[in-house]
Amino acid sequence: MSFCTSTLSQGGNMASAANINARIDRLEAVNADIVQRSYHGIAARLDRLPAGKAHRKVLWLIGGVAFCDSLDMNIAGPIIAQLLASGWSDNNLNSIFVSMTAFGYLIGGLLAGIVSDKFGRRKGLVFFASLFSVFCLVATFAPNMTVLIVCRFFMGFGLGAAYPAGYGSLSEYTPPKVRGRYQAWVGLIANCGTPIASFMCLIMLPLVGWRAIFGVCGLVGLIVAVLVLKYMDDSPRWLAQHGRNEEADAIVTKYEDIMRAAGHDIEPVPDCKIEADASRAAATEVKQLPFTFLFTKKMLPRTIVACTICFVNFVCVYTIVTWTPTIFVSRGFDVTYSVALTTIMLLGIPVGVALLSVFVDKLGRKIQLVVGFTLTAVFGYAWAMIPVDQTVLIIIVGFLMTVITYYWSLICSSVYLPEPFPTQIRVRGAGLANAFGRIGAILNPIWIAFFLNSGIGAVGVYLASGGIAIVGAVIVAVLGVETRGKSLEEISEGVLQDTK
C-alpha cells in the first residue's frame, strides 16, 4: 500500500513538473511571438531578408507613381507652347500656369507627410495619385485658361505630395544593402517618363491636341492608383509603429514565405538581438512626433541638409533641362538646332541613372554628393565658357555635365533624402525638404532671366547654379550623416533623445 502511495506521489510530482514545464514553454513561445511582432522585431526581420519578388513589386508600384511625376513635368512646356500659338492663352497666363504648378508641388510636398504618417503609406499614395488623375481628366474639359490653371494647381499638389511619399515609403521596405540601388531603379523608371512625354507630345499635339494628352496622363495615373491599392502592402514599419503589429507580422511573414518558396534559407532573427535593439531605443521610444521635431537640436542639422540637397537639386536640374534650349538661342543658335543639341545632351540622363544603380551602395552617400555637386559646378562653368563655334566640345562637356548631375540628383531626391528621418516623421521631413527645394525651382527663372538679359549670359547662369552647388557641398560635408549600409533604426539612434 505504501509502495503504491509512493509511486502515485512520484507520478503526481512528475505530472506536475511536466505541466509546469509545458506552461513555461507556452509562455516563452508567447513572449517570443510578442518580440518577433514588436516594432524592432518587424524592422529586424525586414532588414535581414534578401531582395526578391516582394521588394520588386513595391519598387514597380512606387516607380509607377514617380513615372507619373516625370510624365507631368515634361508635358507642360509643349502644351503651353501650343496654347500660346493657338491664341487660347498668352504669355502672362502661361507664366501663371507654370507658377501655379510649382506652387501646387510646394503645398503638396508640405502636406505629404501629414496624410501618409496619419493614414498609412499606401492610402497616402492612392489619394495623391488619384487627386492628380482626377484633375488631369477635368482639365480635358476646361472651358478656359483660368479653369485649366486651377486644375494644374491640383495636379501639382497631387504629384508634389506623391513624390516624397513614394520615395520615403520605399526605404521602409528594402534591406539596407540594396536600399540605395532600389531607390536608384525607381529613379530610372521615373526618368523613362521624359522621352515618353516628349514623344507623346510630338505625336499627339498636332493630331489630337493638348486635351487628349491630359486625358492620357489622367488614365495612366488612375491605373497606377488602382494597382497600388490592389497590390501594395502598407509599410510594416508604419503599421508596427502605430500598434497594428498583427498586420505588420502577417505582411513580413508573407515576404518570408515568398523568399523560402524561392529557395532562400531564411533564418529566424534571434530574440536576443531584437531585445538588444529595443533596449538601445527604449530611452527614446515614441509613437508619434510633432512637426516641430524637425527643428529640434539634434534633428535640425539633418533637416537643413535635406532642404539644402533638394534646393541644389531643383536649381541645377531645372537649369539644365528647362533652360538649355533658351541658353543656346541666346548664344546665337536657331531654335531647331538648339533643341537638337539639348536632346543630345539629355541623353546623359539614363547614363547617369544607370551608373548610379551600379555604384550607389558601393560608396558613401556623403562623398558622392559632395564630389557630384562640385563636379557639376566645374563642368557647368566650363560648358558656359566654350566658344559657340566648338559644337562638338559643347555637346561632349554638356553630355558629361548631364551624366554627373543626374547621378547625384537621384541620390538627393530618392536615395539619401528619406534616410536620415525617423519612421514617425520620415514622409513629413522629406515633404518639407522637397517643398523647400521647389522654392529653388520658383526663384531659379528670376536670376536666369536677369543674366540672359544682361551681358553676362550663360556664364552668369552657371556661376549662380555652381555657387549654390558648392555651398550645398560644404553643408553636406559638415552637417550630413552617413547612411550607407545601416538600418533605418541605426540611422535614427540618438536624434529621438530630444523628445524626452
Q: Which residues contact 486 (CB under 8 A, 6 or more apart)?
A: 176
Q: Which residues contact 387 (CB under 8 A, 6 or more apart)?
A: none
Q: Which of 151-160, 205-214, 272-281 has the lowest mean pLDDT?
A: 272-281
pLDDT at 28 over 50: no
**Do 115 and 252 lie in a common domain?**
no
What is the model's pLDDT at position 16? 58
Q: What is the mean pLDDT of residues 350-371?
A: 85
pLDDT band at residue 91 under the 50/70/90 scheme: low
Question: How deeply is 121 buried, as exposed, middle or buried, from its count of CB atoms within 10 A (0-12, 13-18, 19+)?
Answer: buried
Q: Are 128 and 228 in contact (CB under 8 A)?
A: no
| CA nearest to 212, candidates 75, 73, 88 | 75
**Do 201 and 276 lie in a common domain?**
no
What is the model's pLDDT at position 7? 47
**Do 354 and 226 lie in a common domain?**
no
Distance of CA 92 to the CA centre of its chain: 33
Q: Are 139 and 12 in contact (CB under 8 A)?
A: no
Q: Which residues contact 10 (CB under 8 A, 6 or more apart)?
A: none
Q: What is the mean pLDDT of residues 429-454?
A: 80
Residue whose grid cell is 509643349: 78
Coil vs helix vs strand at 347: coil
Q: Are 44 and 273 in contact (CB under 8 A)?
A: yes
Residue whose grid cell is 512637426: 291
Q: Which residues contact 161 (CB under 8 A, 6 or more apart)?
A: 108, 109, 111, 112, 115, 124, 128, 131, 431
Q: Which residues contact 395 (CB under 8 A, 6 or more apart)?
A: 341, 344, 345
Maximum C-alpha span of the chain = 118
- Between 318 and 91, the more confident residue is 318
- Between 450 and 464, the more confident residue is 464
Domain count, the chain: 3
387: cell is: 566658344
- Asked whether residue 2 is domain-assigned, the answer is no
CA–CA distance, 385 with 368 (Å, rounded to integer):
26
What is the model's pLDDT at position 8? 44
Q: Are 423 and 341 in contact (CB under 8 A)?
A: no
What is the model's pLDDT at position 274? 66
What is the model's pLDDT at position 3? 44
Last residue in a domain, options 233, 256, 280: 280
**Do 356 and 418 lie in a common domain?**
yes
**Do 147 and 265 lie in a common domain?**
no
Give the domain range for residue 357: 287-500
Q: What is the mean pLDDT of residues 134-143?
A: 92
Q: What is the mean pLDDT of the chain?
A: 79
- Asked whether residue 5 is domain-assigned, the answer is no
**Do 322 and 394 lie in a common domain?**
yes
CATH number of the domain that residue 136 is part of:
1.20.1250.20
pLDDT band at residue 280 under the 50/70/90 scheme: low
Q: What is the mean pLDDT of residues 460-474?
A: 91
What is the model's pLDDT at position 374? 95
CA Rg value for the chain: 27
Highest mean pLDDT of the ranges 193-202, 381-390, 394-403 = 394-403
What is the model's pLDDT at position 30? 46
Q: Which of 62-71, 272-281, 386-395 has the lowest mean pLDDT?
A: 272-281
Coil vs helix vs strand at 175: coil
- Between 86 and 364, the more confident residue is 364
Digit-coded pLDDT (tens) for 296-306:
888 899 999 99
| CA nearest to 300, candidates 152, 167, 421 | 421
Q: Are 302 and 475 in contact (CB under 8 A)?
A: no
**Do 167 and 273 lie in a common domain?**
no
**Do 76 and 110 lie in a common domain?**
yes
- Asked whether residue 3 is domain-assigned, the answer is no
* Helices and strands in the chain: count of H runs, count of E runs: 20, 0
CA–CA distance, 12 with 6 (Å, rounded to integer):
10
351: cell is: 547614363
Give the predicted TM-score (pTM) of the model: 0.69
**Do 90 and 179 lie in a common domain?**
yes
**Do 265 and 209 lie in a common domain?**
no
What is the model's pLDDT at position 13? 55
Residue 209 zone, left/alpha/beta (φ > 0; ψ -120 to 50; rest) = left
| CA nearest to 483, candidates 411, 429, 398 | 411
What is the model's pLDDT at position 370? 94
| CA nearest to 170, candidates 233, 246, 255, 264 | 233
